[in-house]
């Protein structure tokens, strides 16, 4: 299972880079861009992040998919800052968010979930001193990542049923099928964990 169903196999330098190194670069890059508070640097970082996608074998559509969920937030920030008379602040914040999301998306697209979970388990080892089991931390992360594509699948199935019935203008009718689908998935997952003596 790949992270949120997004991992794309490839042979780029980003694919070959260890997960820990990628996360360290991501953290450092985002920290520098945000701490600098410079609009030009933020815009350059966003452009550079977008330029990394073709170098890793991803086309413009992939960039669009990564940014699509962020667009409403960017629009709201731009509107708010614009009304406040601070267009430069709007450009800076939007560019910072764009750079962070694009870089995070690139890490997700080029990193297998197994690598990421192994890294988190190693990072959580010091927590043994506090009674925390690192393997449980990795399991929690794995279940969290698994829930994302399950939720997307439940929504997709509900939308297809909604469309097949010729329903229009009543999207609230999809809520119950989505909830039922998620409950069924949770029950199946619980039964699988119980069968493996995982409490």
- CA 129, 130, 133: angle at the middle one, nearest 5? 85
> How many Å apart are CA 183 and CA 191, to the nearest integer?
12
Q: What is the pLDDT of residue 27?
A: 92
pLDDT value for 28: 95
pTM strictly above 0.75: no
Q: Which residues contact 1 (CB under 8 A, 6 or more apart)?
A: 113, 142, 145, 146
pLDDT digits (tens, 9 = 90+) for 144-172: 655 655 666 677 777 777 777 776 666 66
pLDDT tens-place string over residues 13-26: 999 999 889 989 99
Residues 79 and 95: their CA atoms lie apart, in Å, by: 15
Domains of the chain by residue range: 3-123, 131-195
* Three-class SS state of 188: helix
Tell me: the pLDDT tens digits for 171-192? 666 677 777 776 776 666 666 6
Residue 44 pLDDT greater than 90, yes or no? yes
Task: Return the percentage of the chain with pLDDT > 90, whole number.
Answer: 30
Residue 117: CB atoms within 10 A of its CB come to: 21
Task: Count CA within 13 A, CB hemisphere, residue 11.
Answer: 0
Mean pLDDT within 37-56? 95
Decide if 69 contacts 89 (C-beta within 8 A): no
| Placement of tokens 């909830």 in the chain | 179
Question: Which tokens sit at 126?
Answer: 């010091």
Stronger pLDDT, 24 or 196, i.e. the higher one: 24
């Amino acid at each position: 299972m790949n992270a949120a169903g997004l991992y794309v196999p490839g042979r780029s330098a980003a694919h070959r880079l260890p997960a820990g190194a990628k996360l360290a670069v991501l953290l450092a890059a985002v920290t520098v861009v945000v701490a600098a508070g410079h609009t030009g640097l933020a815009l350059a970082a966003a452009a550079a992040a977008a330029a990394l996608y073709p170098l890793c074998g991803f086309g413009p559509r992939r960039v669009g998919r990564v940014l699509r969920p962020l667009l409403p937030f960017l629009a709201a920030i731009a509107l708010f800052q614009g009304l406040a008379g601070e267009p430069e602040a709007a450009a800076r914040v939007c560019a910072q968010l764009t750079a962070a999301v694009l870089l995070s998306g690139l890490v997700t697209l080029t990193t297998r979930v197994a690598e990421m979970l192994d890294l988190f388990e190693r990072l959580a080892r010091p927590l043994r001193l506090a009674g925390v089991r690192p393997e449980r931390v990795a399991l929690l992360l794995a279940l969290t990542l698994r829930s994302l594509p399950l939720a997307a699948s439940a929504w997709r199935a509900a939308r297809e049923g909604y469309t097949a019935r010729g329903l229009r203008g009543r999207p609230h009718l999809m809520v119950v099928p989505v909830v039922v689908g998620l409950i069924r998935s949770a029950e199946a997952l619980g039964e699988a964990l119980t069968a493996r003596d995982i409490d």
